[in-house]
Every structure is written in structure tokens, then in C-alpha cells.
A = this chain, B = another copy of it.
Amino acid sequence: MRYCPTCGHQVEQRIPAGDNRLRHCCPSCNAIHYQNPRLVLGTIPTWENRILLCRRAIEPRYGYWTLPAGFMENDESSGEGAERETVEEAGARIELGEPFSILDVPHVHQVHMFFLAPMLGPQLDPGPESLEARLFNEADIPWDSIAFRTVSQTLRWFLEDRRRGAYSLHTATIRYEQRAPAPADARTDVQTDARASQADAEAGARTDTRTTAPGARSGAGGRT
């Protein structure tokens, strides 16, 4: 941010009175423009024993497979956003279930949340953000071509819980770690650009996971 969205004057970075962080502040109209993480909402759509994945038709990670997911919009609930993305990217009809995983990705200023989502039928109609959408048996999941670490981690948790017959809420933080330097004769391959992109999170990330007690959430879905 270089200019004030309110009045158009150049902003400066300073710590406002009573605050302890650098903010974009406008010296002309005195507005303070906060920047905060965004929520990415997705689902784990399932039909019989199969899991729905979409192949991305957009960057980042064009051509890689993902669970349907996207940025939460203003004026919607998190469940509505997750369902909307599932319709937009896969054309799948689901019954939205419980939140299943919450993954913080601090270096890209994102929190990813995936919901359980039994499908109401096997019909798919992928939208323009997907090259294709397909139902996968566990043995056929393209682990080497999963777009994001948050997706592969969620899939692993889901498959473990399904085997156990009980779904818990899972949480994790995915940290960025610069990869160890390569040998001198391979230096041209070293990734030296530390831009915080989602693809970086995949390339060199550490995951701290935390899971609720086994057995939690079996038969979940009651409403109060």
C-alpha cells in the first residue's frame, strides 16, 4: 500500500498511538489502514468411498490437484463460502458437515478451513477455475501433484479418521522454512527468492499438527 484508499494521499508506515505494530497511516486524513489474514474455505466432498479433487486451471499451482477451496467473501458465513467454492469449482452438490481442519499459514497471511461434505450425487460440472474435477479412490490420489500442503495434510487426516471410523477437528500451523543450501555445484537450483507464496509453503514448510482425542466427533452433526 502506497496511497490512502480513503483520500489518495501517500501513506506512511508508523506505529499509531496505543498500538505496537507498524501500520499504513495517512498523514492527510489520519486514516489507519490495517492489514489482516484472510480465510480460505474448502470442503472434502465424498461420494461413497471416493474423494473429490479438482485440477487447477489458475495460478498458483496451475495443473495441480486440490480440494475445492477459495477466499471467504464479505457477507457470507464460513459454511456458505465453503459450499459456494465447491459449486463454483466442481459443480458438486453437497450436504455441508462440520469443520474438519483448520490450518494456519502465517507467512502467506492465511487460515485454511475445510469442512466435511458428503455429496448428494456423483454428478460434477467443473467451472472455469478447474481443468477437471474427479472422484478418487484412496489408492489413486495423486499425492505428487497436490497443489497445497494444507490440502495434502487435510487428506491424510481425513483418510486416517475414516479408517478409524471417527472424525475429529484437526489443527496445524504450516511454517515457512528456507530450504537448506544445496551443494556448491548445484547452486543454480537453489531457491533464493523468499517471496511468501502458497507454492513456497509447499516447497519448504514445516507442519506443527494438533488433533483432538481419537473418538471425538463420531456421529457428529447434531444441531442445538
A213 with B219: CB separation less than 8 A: yes
Quick one: copies of this chain in the complex? Answer: 2
A102 at the interface (CB under 8 A from B): yes
Give the residue of B34, B169, B209 whose beta carbon is less than 8 angstroms from that of A71. Answer: B34
B102 with A99: CB separation less than 8 A: yes
Inside 8 A of A34's CB, which chain B residues have their CB? Answer: 71
In the complex, A219→B87 CA distance in Å?
Answer: 37
Closest to A20 in B: B88
A3-11, A45-53, A138-146, A179-187: which lies at the interface: A3-11
Question: Which positions 11-66 of chain A face chain B at CB distance < 8 Å?
Answer: 11, 18, 21, 24, 33-39
Q: Is the interface of A mostly helix, strand, loop or mixed?
A: loop
A192 at the interface (CB under 8 A from B): no
Give the residue of B76, B98, B212 whose beta carbon is less than 8 angstroms from that of A106. Answer: B76
Give the residue of B7, B71, B213 whose beta carbon is less than 8 angstroms from that of A222. Answer: B213
In the complex, A78→B111 CA distance in Å?
Answer: 8
Apart from A99-B169, A212-B217, A216-B216, what are 8 other A-B pairs with CB-CB below 8 Å? Answer: A3-B7, A35-B74, A36-B38, A37-B74, A75-B106, A77-B173, A78-B111, A210-B224
The 7 closest A-B pairs by CB, nearest first: A3-B8, A77-B104, A216-B216, A1-B5, A77-B173, A212-B220, A74-B109
